[in-house]
Amino acid sequence: MERLMLAVQYNAYDGGANALQHVEVPIPSPNKDEILIKMEAASINPLDWKIQKRILWPILPAKFPYIPCMDVAGEVMEVGRGVTKFKVGDKVVGLMSPFSGGGLAEFAVIKESVTASRPPEISASECAGLPIAGITALQALSQTIGIKLDGSGERKNILVTAASGGVGHYAVQLAKLGNTHVTATCGARNIEFVKSLGADEVIDYKTAEGAALKSPSGKKYDAVIHCANEFPWSIFETNLSMNGKVVDLSPTLGSVMNFALKKLTFPKKQLVPLLLLPKGGDLQYLVDLVKQGKIRTVIDSKYPITKAKDAWARCIDGHATGKIIFEF
């Protein structure tokens, strides 16, 4: 007889939190190079509700019904052919494909190549926040901007917008591992929190200074990790150093077209859309940093899977401080 599990899914685009349905579905089986985990924690990202809102139509999701959430942590229950790094009983954290989804369920199948070991001293909830938000921040800083996280390299002035959110709070902490001066924007209630992450300057985005993205010390930015909603390019441009870059973490068609146009005209200041490339090595690096106490996952709120609608609405609201976590 087929084994069943509890899951949360939606059957069509749109509908928000109210479209989520609690269902029983078959427990998946791992194929070659995949592992089956019993879920202990998952995290929700803005990408999850944006997929539901047709932001990536017609690419995602691949089909309906769709079980959302891609950041997962749990215990290995079964391994597929070819798996060599993990065995039954191992504690892991991983990243599911957005095409298949599957994180909001009692069991999930993930690729070995985008999975990392979780040491016993780090909770599943702490690790579950890392995959999408942490890897995005890491790749933006180390690959796109070129910051060396061992503290070496030329000093750079960095701006992180929406610094109290999921990606932003990791970006501030990671940037401060490098040779950087970090200016950050957030709401007034989170200023002290963002300072505690290591930011050198924090500005309230609702003030005139914050809206203009002006550094209180008058610095020009060598790079911007842009986690907030769209800003006119003109605001960025006046605040950038001669070869400054804006790394856009939520690129729209307009910003991609702007990037292409500026590539053609060869300006030194650039708007660079970031496309996440999931790598197990990057995820393991982040887990190790958490273990060493160099970065931390700040948890906004925790929900059981039975309260999925509440968590979904919280994420859509856009004012979470850190990560929203499901615990199983």
**Type of residue found at 37:** I
What would the pLDDT profile of 183-239 be if each residue is shown by its tens digit? 999 999 999 999 999 999 999 999 999 999 999 999 999 999 999 887 788 899 899
pLDDT reading at 122 higher than 80 = yes
Secondary structure (3-state) at 66: strand
Closest to 255 measured CA to CA, from 274, 275, 273, 234: 273
Other beta carbons within 10 angstroms of residue 266's beta carbon come to 7
Does domain 4-129+297-327 sit in CATH 3.90.180.10?
A: yes
pLDDT at 62: 86
Residue pair 106/73 in contact (Cβ under 8 Å)? The answer is: no
The b-or-e profile of 185-194 (16+ CB within 10 A means b, else e) is bbbeebbebb
Q: How much of the chain exceeds pLDDT 70, in percent?
A: 95
Alpha-carbon distance of 91 to 114, in angstroms, equals 14
pLDDT at 229: 80
CA–CA distance from 40 to each of 73, 167, 174 (Å)?
6, 22, 26
What would the pLDDT profile of 189-199 be if each residue is shown by its tens digit? 999 999 999 99
Residues of the chain with CATH 3.40.50.720: 133-273
**Residue 225: both structure tokens together:** 């990790």
Residues of the chain with CATH 3.90.180.10: 4-129+297-327
Average pLDDT over residues 303-311: 98
Residue pair 198/173 in contact (Cβ under 8 Å)? The answer is: yes
- Which range, of 148-152, 263-267, 320-324, averages the lowest pLDDT? 263-267
Residue pair 17/39 in contact (Cβ under 8 Å)? The answer is: no
Select the more confidently predicted residue: 232 or 109: 109
Residue pair 201/183 in contact (Cβ under 8 Å)? The answer is: yes
Query: What is the chain's alpha carbon radius of gyration, rounded to the nearest angstrom?
Result: 20
pLDDT at 271: 82
Q: How much of the chain exceeds pLDDT 90, in percent?
A: 84
pLDDT at 133: 97
* H or E element at residue 77: strand 71-79
Select the more confidently predicted residue: 79 or 264: 79
Rounded to the nearest 5°, which phi and psi values hold at 41?
-160, 155
* pTM (2 d.p.): 0.94
**Residue 95: both structure tokens together:** 């990243």
Average pLDDT over residues 52-79: 92
- Which range, of 71-80, 142-151, 225-234, 302-311, averages the lowest pLDDT? 225-234
pLDDT at 120: 94
Closest to 135 measured CA to CA, from 191, 178, 93: 93
Other beta carbons within 10 angstroms of residue 21's beta carbon come to 14
Class of the CATH-defined domain 133-273: alpha beta
- Report the Cα 117 to chain-centroid distance in Å: 19
**Residue 223: both structure tokens together:** 């790079």
Average pLDDT over residues 237-263: 76
With a CB cutoff of 8 Å and minimum separation 6, the contacts of 212 are 235, 239
Confidence of residue 36 (pLDDT cuts 50, 70, 90): very high
Task: Find the distance separating the first CA and the last CA of the chain, reported in whole Å.
Answer: 24
Q: What is the largest CA-CA distance in the chain?
A: 68
